[in-house]
Structures are given as C-alpha cells and as structure tokens.
A and B are shown apart, each in its own frame.
Chain A
Amino acid sequence: MAGNDERWLDAEAGPVVRPYALTRGRTRHSGESFDLVATVVSTQELVGDPSSLGPEHVSVLQLARAPTTVADIASDVDLPLGVVRILLADLRELGLVAIRAPVTMAERVDKQTLREVLNGLRGL
C-alpha cells in the first residue's frame, strides 16, 4: 500500500459488492452521531417488520445482544465503519438498539478511571 496512492486491488479492495450498496447508497446516517467506541446494545424488542431489515442489519443486531462497541461490531461483521454506522442508525430508528456515548466522550478521562486503567495495565 505504501507509495501506491491508496489504490487497493483484488482481495485487498474488499468484497465485490461495493460497501455502500448495502446502505442503498446512503453515506450519512440518520439521527445523532455516535463515537467509534460508543456502546451499542440491542433492546431485545421484537422486530415489527423484519422484512425491512437486510441480512447485514440482522448480523449487526445479533452482535449487539450483549453490550459492545461500534468498532467491535464493524470488525466482527467485517464491514467498513461508515457502513456499520448507517446500519446501526437504521436499527436505532426502529428502536432495536440503544447507542450510548462512551463515558470518555465528555472530555478527558477522569483521574479515577485513569488509575483503574493503570492498575489494569500493570496487572496484565
């Protein structure tokens, strides 16, 4: 990739379906924006009309059964972050998931959390 001006070919370029085809061409998601490490959790509500959901929506929803993050989901479904964000926003609109801003979003990580992180790292 280095020195090749970001032109990825063949397998490197990802799936044959252009990622944004999954979002019907949308490149911006609806509603409030959310962080890469925002916590996502399925509300466990039954889907009113599951036919409106694509298979990727369902995969995302399954991953959110236990609280997880946007980045974890994107990695696990192997779709680009931008696409996963749109799918998540769709699910949020339908009331199927709740997305909560990370605690750290406010500004800087507080001292207490920093100490916990430090202790955690030392104990690794």
Chain B
Amino acid sequence: MDSGAFNSSGAGARQHRAIKILLAGGFGVGKTTLVGAVSEIKPLRTEEPLTEGSLRSDSTAGVEKKTTTTVAMDFGRISLRSDLVLYLFGTPGQQRFWFMWDELAIGALGAVVLADTRRLADSFPAIDYFERRDIPFIIAINCFDGARRYDPEDVRIALDLDPGLPIIHCDARSRESAKQVLITLVEHVLTHAPEEPLRHSLR
C-alpha cells in the first residue's frame, strides 16, 4: 500500500522493521514491571468506541449514544538495530480487552503469558486465546517474593499445556531476566516456525 509514495520520499529508503511481541497476564502480575525492565517504556492509551453490534455509520449521528472505554497499555520499545525495532505490548488478559488483542495479534512474533502461581487462573483466558489463534507463546512465571516456587512441570499440568511449550521462572524486575524471557520466546518461535506448515496445537 502506498509503497511508491513511501519509497520516493527518501526518508524511508531504509526498510524499517517493527516486530510485535505481546505480553499478557492478569492485573498486578508484573507486566508493566517487565516491560520497563527491558525496554524504553512509553505511555500509550486507547480510547476505543464501543458500538452495539456492528453499527455501520460514518456520520456523527449516534456518537453520543456510544460509550468509550479507555485502556492503558504497557508499551515498550527496544531498538535492536537502526532498522529493526521490537515493540512490546502488554494489555490485561481479560476477555473484555480482547478487542485490543485481536488487533495486536495480527502479525505478532509471539506472546508471553506472565503468570503468578498464586493466581494461576488469571492466565487461563490468555492461554486459551493464543492457543485458539495458533499464536506461539511461552509461560513466564513471575517469582514474587515470598511466593512458593513451583516446578514448571507442576505448572504445566495445572495449566494443561503442551509438552513442548516453554515454561520459565523470571523476575520481572530484572533486566537480564526479562531479556531471557524474550529470548526464550524467540527461540521457541524459531524452532517451531520452519518452512513446513504451521503446526496446530495439540488439543
């Protein structure tokens, strides 16, 4: 789209690649902390109109009847190279935010589901979402001080996850740890994204 105009502008001669990584998890699980630990965090909010059904109207009529919902997203930017930038998007994993997820998921590299073993159920919706859409993801268990440390295999059983799905412990406050989370995701995607057709999740 518009590629001719883009290329002729000169300013965009160097191809700028933006890669999306999604970060999901319940409230208070450490998403903002993790994004802040590994990237330049920026404020980003959406104020999305919620329309009943698929109201098709380009006019202003009826706007006053619509309600909007504000969602503050965790938005982080990691410049890997001048032409390669990684974008982290974290939004709450609840179903009512899925209108955001549907857009975020398009073309995303993959997702990290940040989990807290004290509230594992909070990560169910995000896991279901990524499994159903065949979006590669990993589980990162944020190790809160004082929380019991569970074996990843116990977490796998509790969450009913595929054997090949990486489950790692992390400390969302640590840059190294957050970096390792992203590396684990990219490695996972790399091993499962060869030329062969996409494998459907085993369910």
Contact B183 A122 (CB under 8 A): yes
Is B130 part of the binding interface, using a Cβ–Cβ cutoff of 8 Å? no
- Complex CA distance for A111 and B193, rounded to whole angstroms: 7
- Complex CA distance for A61 and B84, rounded to whole angstroms: 22
Produce 1/0 per residue, A98-114, CB < 8 A to B: 11111111111101011
- Complex CA distance for A62 and B106, rounded to whole angstroms: 28
**Which single member of B80, B106, B189 contacts A116 (CB below 8 Å)?**
B80
Contact B16 A39 (CB under 8 A): yes
Is B202 part of the binding interface, using a Cβ–Cβ cutoff of 8 Å? no
Chain B contacts for A123, CB-based, 8 A: 80
Contact B6 A37 (CB under 8 A): no
Interface range on chain B (Cβ under 8 Å from partner)? 35 or more
Whole-angstrom distance between the Cβ of A43 and the nearest chain B Cβ? 5
Chain A contacts for B48, CB-based, 8 A: 80-82
Contact B45 A80 (CB under 8 A): yes
Across the A-B interface, the 5 shortest Cβ-Cβ residue pairs: A120-B80, A80-B47, A25-B60, A37-B18, A104-B107
18 additional A-B pairs beyond A98-B6, A100-B3, A121-B78, beta carbons within 8 Å, are A1-B27, A14-B45, A24-B60, A26-B58, A26-B60, A27-B51, A28-B58, A36-B20, A36-B89, A36-B103, A69-B87, A75-B42, A102-B18, A102-B107, A108-B193, A113-B19, A114-B109, A116-B81
